A and B are shown apart, each in its own frame.
Chain A
Amino acid sequence: MTTELPDTTPPDSPSGAAAVEPTFARRVRSRRRIRAEHIRDYGIIVFVLAICVYFSFASPVFLTANNLLNIVYAQTPVGIAACAVTLTIIAGNFDLSLGAILALSEVLGAWVAVHWGIGWFFPVAIISGGVMGLINGLIITKLRVNAFLATLATALAFVGIATGVTGGLLITPTQSAFVFIGQNKAWNTIQYPNFIFLAVAVICQIVLTYTVFGRHLYGVGGNREGARLSGLNVDRIVIMTFVITGLACGLAGMIDASTTGSGSSQVGTTLALDAIAGVALGGTSIFGGVGSVWRTVVGVMMLGIITNGFNLLGVADYWQQIVRGCLIVGAVAVGSVIERR
C-alpha cells in the first residue's frame, strides 16, 4: 500500500537526451532526499520491527500466532477509532469524544438488546455513534465552537447520558448472539473483531487515497480557504468526518460490548487519548493536511506491542506508561525536525 503522496519517484526525465552523468547525479540526489523522508515515513516500521525482535528474544511466548492475534484483538476498539479519527485529523480537526461515543453507543446497544430484542443491537450501536458524531460536527461548524472544546464538552454529556441509562450498573443481555462477534474465532484461531479492524483500516485507507472525498479531506486540512475557493462545501466535509468517526466508535462500542458481554458506561475513558497517540505515532500531523491510515495502524499496533511485551516480561505498568509517553514525544519530534530541514 502506498501513501497519498510518495515523493520517492524521481522527476520524470524531460527528454531522452539525458546523458550518463546527469542520470547518475540525479540518482545520487534522489537517494539523499529519500533518506530524510524515509526516517519520517518508514522509521516507525523499522522501530516496530526492532522492538518485536527484542521481545522475541526476551520472551518465548511473544512470537506465537496466538499472542500476536491477541495483540490485535486487544487493540481493536482503539484501532478502529484511530483509523477513523485519522480522517478527522487530516481534515484539520480533532475529536476527544471517541471514548464517550463508544461508551454511550455500547450502552444503548445493550439496552435495546435487552428491551427490544437482539436484532436492534448492531444498528442502534452503530447509528447512535453516527448521530453523536453528527452532533459534534454541527456544533463545530454551525456554532463555530473549537473542535477541541466541543468534543471535550460532548464527551462529558455522552458519558453522563450513558451513566443515566445504566444507573451505574452493567447492562447484560442474555442472548448468545450478543457475544457472538466478540467472543468467537474464525477457524478457531482468529478473533472476528480482528477482521473488522482490518476491514475498517483498509476502507479508511482506500477512501483517503482513492476517492474524491479523501482528496478533499487533504485539501480542507492543508488549506481551508484554498479548499473553499476551489468550490468545496467545507462545513459539510468537516461534518462528514465527525459522522464517520462517530460511526466507527459506535462499531467499536458494539465490539467492546460483545467482547465483555455487557454494556457499561465506565469503558473508553482512555480511548480517545490512546487513539490520538496512535495517530501521532504514525506521523499524521495534528495540524491537518498530512497523514495516512496505514501509519496510524502501525502506531496503534506499536502501543499494543509495547503493552503486551512488557506484560510478558513482567514490567510494571508505570514503566509502560513512561515509555509510551517518551515514544510519542520522540516520534513527533523526529517528524517535525525532519520537516523543518
Chain B
Amino acid sequence: MSALVESTAPAPVRLVSIGKRYAGTSALDDVSVTIEVGTVHALVGANGAGKSTLGKIIGGVVRADEGEMFVDGEEVRYSTPTEARRDGIATIAQELSLVPEMSVMENVFMGIEPHRRGFVSWRQMRRRYAELIDRSGFDLKADVKVGSLRAADQQKAEILRAVNTDARVIVLDEPTSSLTAVETEQLHTLIRGLRANGTTIVYVSHFLDEVLDLCDTVTVMRNGHVVRTAAAEAETEATLVAGMFGAAVSAEKLDTSAPVHGDVMLEVAGLSRADVLNNIALNVRAGEIVGIAGLVGSGRSELARAIAGADPIDSGTISVAGEERRIKSPADAIDAGIAFLTEERKKDGLFLELSLAANTTFANLGEVSANNMLRRGVERERTRALLGQVGVDPPAPHARAKSLSGGNQQKLVFARWLFCAPRVLILDEPTRGVDVGSRAAIHLLIQRLAADGAAILMISSEIEEVLGLAHRTIVMRRGAVVREFPADPPLNDVMEAAFGLPGSQQ
C-alpha cells in the first residue's frame, strides 16, 4: 500500500500544507500527511525536524499557523486538546498528565466521573472500569495509586484514559523514551491490540528499530518538511537515516581541519552520575571547539551541568589547565574559570526584570565594585563595551533584558560569561530559538573566542551546527561517550553512532 497516493478510504486525519513557526523560525513548512484508519503511523526525524510539533498539531496541543486539517473529511481548527478530544483524538505527551496521588481508576475517569445528583457513583465507575479492562486486555488494578506504578504502567493508565473517552486516534509522543526494553515490548503489544480494535495510532519516535517493528506507515521528516511517507516494509534503518539527514551539506561549514595544538585546558576523567552519566572522559585544548552530539536523553546537557557544578557528581575528576579542581557548586566552577551557558536562557540564565548592565556583570560584580559598593559608571562603560563586542543591538545598559529579542538575549548571556574572562566555555544549545542573523553572529563569536584561546565545549541538537563548528566531535548515547570523530566527519557516521545502529560501534 502506498500512502503517497490519496486513498479513497475515509481518513480520520488529513493534514494539508501545514505550517508552524516559533519566534520567526519555521518549525513546519508545507507539511501534508494523511493518517489512514486503523494503522499505526510513525513520524520520524532528527531533533528539531518537526515530528513532535506535527503530533501536537494533530492533538490540538499546538495550533498551526498555516494549512488545513481535516478529521473525517470535515475541516477542523483546534486551539485546545479538549477540542481534539471531542472529535476522538487523544494525545499522550512525553510528560504524563496523571495525578500521582490518585488511583488508576480515578485518573481514568478524571473529569468524566459517572455521577448521580452531584455525587460520584463509585459502583458505576467500577463497573465501567471492569468493562474497559475487558475491552483493552490491560492488566491494571483499579485502586493502585498512579504514583506507585512503573513508567510503563503509567503509560497504560494514560492509554486507558484515552480509550475511555472513546478516542479513535491516539497520538503518542516519544512514549518509550523512559521505558525499559521489556516495558517497551509490553507497550507495543498494547498498541497492536488497540490497532486490532480499529484504533488509529500516531507514533512519534526517534527509535528507528521500534518504528520498523511496530508501524504500518512511516512519515520521514527533516527540517520541518516531509521527506516522504511510505509503507514501513519498504524502509530499513539505513534508508530512514538517509531520509532524515539527506545529503550531508552544511552551508556554515568552516575550516576546522587544522588540528589545535594548545595546552589541554579542560580534562574530565571517570565522570559518573547514577543513571545519567557513565564514566565520561574527554579533554578540550585551549583554542579548540569540541562538539557533543547525541539524541535527547543521551546525557549531553547532564554532562555540561556536571562540569559546571550545576548538578552533583558521584565520582570522577575535573581539571582545568592541568590542575584538578573540586567543583561542588557553580561558584567553584566559576572560580576555576569555567563558564556555562545553559540551554534554557529564560529559565535559568537571564534576569528579565533587570537592566542589561545588571545582567552583564552579575556573575562577576567584583570587577565593577569597590568595598562591595557598585561603581555604576564603570559598570555602564564595561557593559557598553561588552554588549558591542557580542553584538547586542542597541547596546543600552539601562534597557531591561525582557525588552530584547531572543537572539539579543542569547548574546546578553554570552556577555555575562565573557565578563568572567573564562578559560573554559560550555555552551548548551547556544543558538536555540535564535533568528538566522543572530545565529551566524553567535557562530562567529564562538570561533573568535576559541581563536582568542578559550577552550569551548559545545552542545547542540542540530548536528550540522556541531559539525560545522567543531574541531572534534564526541558522540554520546545513554550517558556514555560512544565515539569520537576528528574534524568534518561524515554526517551519517555521526548519526549512526548517535542512534546506536549496529556496525557503528568501534
Contacts and interface: CB of A to CB of B under 8 A. Distances in A.
Interface in A207-230: 210-216, 218-219, 222-223, 225-230
Contacts of A4: 354
The main secondary structure of chain B at its interface with chain A is mixed
B351 A222 contact: yes
A212 B398 contact: no
Contacts of A210: 373-374, 376
A232 to B, nearest CB: 7
Interface string B377-409: 000000000000000001110111000000000
A317 to B, nearest CB: 38
Nearest to A206: B373
B372 A5 contact: no
Interface string B319-353: 00000000001110111000010100001111111
A12 interface: yes
A230 B416 contact: yes
Given A5-B398, A9-B398, A231 B350 contact: no
Contacts of A226: 348-351
Contact of A14 (B394, B398, B416): B394
A215 B374 contact: yes
B369 interface: yes
Given A225-B348, A289-B353, A231 B372 contact: no
B310 interface: yes
A314 interface: no
Interface in A6-59: 6-7, 9, 11-12, 14
Nearest to A291: B353
A223 B350 contact: yes
Contacts of A290: 353
- Most A Cβ at <10 Å: residue of B310, B330, B333, B353: B353
Given A9-B398, A219-B354, A222-B354, A211 B372 contact: yes
Nearest to A8: B398
Contact of A12 (B353, B358, B372, B394): B394
A229 B394 contact: no
A4 B340 CA distance: 27
A335 to B, nearest CB: 13
Given A5-B400, A7-B399, A229 B351 contact: no
A229 B310 contact: yes
A306 B376 CA distance: 38
Interface in A158-204: none
B308 interface: yes
A66 interface: no
Interface string B218-261: 00000000000000000000000000000000000000000000
Nearest to B357: A5
B445 interface: no
A336 interface: no
B396 A218 contact: no
A270 interface: no
Given A5-B398, A222-B353, A229-B310, A212 B369 contact: yes
- Most A Cβ at <10 Å: residue of B350, B351, B399: B351
A233 interface: yes
Nearest to B379: A215
B363 A225 contact: no
B121 to A, nearest CB: 37
A108 B379 CA distance: 45
B355 interface: yes
Nearest to A5: B355
Interface string B57-98: 000000000000000000000000000000000000000000
Contacts of B310: 228-229
Contacts of A227: 351, 362
B179 interface: no
A10 to B, nearest CB: 9
Contacts of B347: 223, 225
B351 A218 contact: yes
B276 interface: no
B352 A213 contact: no
Interface residues of B, number: 36
B365 interface: yes
Contact of A213 (B372, B394, B400): B372
A94 B399 CA distance: 28
Contact of B363 (A5, A14, A231): A231
B331 A211 contact: no
Contacts of A231: 329-331, 333-335, 363
B374 A229 contact: no
A146 B396 CA distance: 38
A18 to B, nearest CB: 12
- Most A Cβ at <10 Å: residue of B330, B340, B349, B352: B330
B362 A230 contact: yes
B394 A5 contact: no
Interface in A266-296: 289-290
A290 B401 CA distance: 13
A228 B311 CA distance: 11
Given A215-B358, A290-B353, A229 B340 contact: yes
Interface string B105-138: 0000000000000000000000000000000000
Contacts of A222: 351-354
B331 A233 contact: yes
Contacts of B358: 5, 215, 218-219
A216 B394 CA distance: 25
Contacts of B396: 11-12
A212 B363 CA distance: 11
Contacts of B376: 210
A231 B336 CA distance: 11
B331 A232 contact: yes
A202 to B, nearest CB: 15
A6 B310 CA distance: 33
Contacts of A12: 394-396
Given A5-B355, A11-B399, A230 B374 contact: no
Contact of A223 (B330, B348, B363): B348
Contacts of B365: 212, 215-216
B104 to A, nearest CB: 30
A118 B376 CA distance: 44
Nearest to B361: A215
Interface of B: 308, 310, 329-331, 333-335, 340, 342, 347-355, 358, 362-363, 365-366, 369, 372-374, 376, 394-396, 398-400, 416
Top 5 A-B residue pairs of the complex, sorted by shortest distance between their CB atoms: A225-B348, A230-B363, A231-B331, A11-B396, A231-B334
Given A5-B355, A223-B349, 6 more contacts: A5-B398, A7-B399, A218-B354, A219-B358, A226-B350, A229-B349
26 contacts: A5-B398, A7-B398, A7-B399, A9-B398, A210-B373, A210-B374, A211-B374, A212-B366, A214-B374, A215-B374, A218-B358, A219-B354, A222-B353, A223-B347, A223-B348, A223-B349, A223-B351, A223-B352, A225-B348, A226-B350, A228-B330, A229-B349, A230-B416, A232-B331, A289-B353, A289-B354
